[in-house]
Amino acid sequence: MPVSMAALADDLAAESVVLRELLAPLREPDWRRDTPAAGWTIADQVSHLAHFDDVAIRSALDPDGFVAERERIVADGGIDPDTIAASYRELSGATLLSWFDDARGRLVEVFGGLEPGLRVPWFGPPMSAASSLTARIMETWAHGQDVADTLGIVREPTDRLRHVAHIGVGARAFSFAAHDRPVPDEPIRVQLTGPGGDIWSWGPEDAADRVTGPALDFCLAVTQRRHRDDVDLTVTGPAATAWLEIAQAFAGAAGTGRERGALG
């Protein structure tokens, strides 16, 4: 079945609404509350999303300009999310929310009209427009989890978790590369139960190495929002075990994850 950019854009818009409902009632001091991501406030989480929405739009509409800017960033030492977050800390919560609304609206509009197979540059190998939009869904869900955890709110899981899980499975090789470790040769079967009871699966059905359990728990693990020991996953085989110890669905340097028992 062909990938529908309109459907992906609708899912991103829906995930954005969930996050926005958490943000809209916040008073200014709430925006400065520390989240489980070390050194990051709620404001930092939102500026990160808005910043990279703008960057993703540029990668699609002005790929040559994006590549030139990327080369400058690499020459200056590469992307530092903490430095980016710090550069926006003078912005008020209201300003950040307005920026997020504008950037996200433009992203949905621009990417919703692209061909899914169009290659767009990024910080690493080029990716398809469909993959880029799926990554924005994953990022929104993951950073939204940090906001929800900070506010003590439990979000209702949805079938949009399938996008997050798909990115997590696809990032297995990257997870090992980020830790300068070779990827095990053994195939892995991932079989997850979605919020509605549907079974989502990736990898050979007869693979000896397996990861099974609720989709929510898998997504929390691969986005490093919960420690491996704080999620309800059954992990079988050395290759699967090695992966789940370092799995990360997001780009960049190897993540530090969460402390055992911190939120699980």
Q: Are residues 98 and 136 in the same domain?
A: yes
Tally of domains in the chain = 2
Residue-number span of the structural domain to which 98 is assigned: 5-155
Element (H, E) at 67: helix 63-75
State how far Cα 63 lies from the chain centre: 22
CATH value at residue 84: 1.20.120.450
**pLDDT tens profile 100-145:** 999 999 999 999 999 999 999 998 889 999 999 999 999 999 999 9
Q: Are residues 53 and 133 in the same domain?
A: yes
**pLDDT tens profile 51-83:** 999 999 999 999 999 999 999 998 988 889 999
Q: Are residues 20 and 47 in the same domain?
A: yes
Q: Are residues 50 and 84 in the same domain?
A: yes
For residue 246, what are its two tokens? 């370092």
Question: How high is the pLDDT of residue 256?
Answer: 81
Q: Are residues 168 and 219 in the same domain?
A: yes
In a domain, 40, yes or no: yes
Residue 210 has pLDDT above 80, yes or no: yes
Burial class (CB in 10 A: 0-12, 13-18, 19+), 79: middle
Residue 232 has pLDDT above 60, yes or no: yes
- Give the percent of the chain with pLDDT over 90: 89
Q: Are residues 128 and 16 in the same domain?
A: yes
In a domain, 202, yes or no: yes
Mean residue pLDDT across the chain: 95
CATH value at residue 231: 3.30.1050.10
Q: Are residues 120 and 204 in the same domain?
A: no
Q: Are residues 25 and 146 in the same domain?
A: yes
In a domain, 261, yes or no: no
Residue 12 has pLDDT above 80, yes or no: yes
Q: Are residues 29 and 103 in the same domain?
A: yes
Q: Are residues 123 and 176 in the same domain?
A: no
Q: Examine the fold and report which residue of 155, 174, 189 is the final residue of a domain before the chain moves on.
A: 155
In this structure, are residues 154 and 264 in contact, taking their beta carbons and an 8 Å threshold?
no
Q: Are residues 136 and 229 in the same domain?
A: no
Q: Are residues 60 and 144 in the same domain?
A: yes
In a domain, 176, yes or no: yes
The β-bridge relationship of strands 188-193 and 124-128 is unpaired
Question: How high is the pLDDT of residue 128?
Answer: 96
In a domain, 253, yes or no: no
The closest alpha carbon to 109, from 9, 232, 177, belongs to 9
Question: How high is the pLDDT of residue 263?
Answer: 65
